[in-house]
Amino acid sequence: MIERIERALVLLAYFIEQDGDFWVPMYEKFEAEHQELRDREDTKARARRRLLAYSEAGALKAIR
């Protein structure tokens, strides 16, 4: 999904260059969604790292 939004942002950037401000609100919306998805992925990655560190310490059985 992130890759699709990145491609859409490139296309919208082209439209903005060609047509001006008409496309700016859509670009801003996609840009915000892109950042939200990246933030969510970062959070999931942090959670995975924490769980991995916890399980490597032998403590995983405590949460099952």
Is residue 26 a contact partner of residue 19, using CB atoms and an 8 Å limit?
A: no
Output the pLDDT for position 35: 96
Output the pLDDT for position 62: 55
- How many whole angstroms separate alpha carbon 39 and alpha carbon 42? 5
Output the pLDDT for position 48: 93
Output the pLDDT for position 54: 86
Residue corresponding to tokens 């924490």:
50
Is residue 45 a contact partner of residue 56, using CB atoms and an 8 Å limit?
A: no
User: Consecutive 10-residue runs of the chain (64 residues): their mean pLDDT?
Assistant: 95 96 97 96 94 78 59
Output the pLDDT for position 64: 59
**CA-to-CA dists, residue 57 to 51, 52, 53, 60, 61, angstroms:** 10, 9, 6, 8, 10
Using only C-alpha atoms, what is the Rg of the chain?
19
Domain boundaries, the chain: 2-63
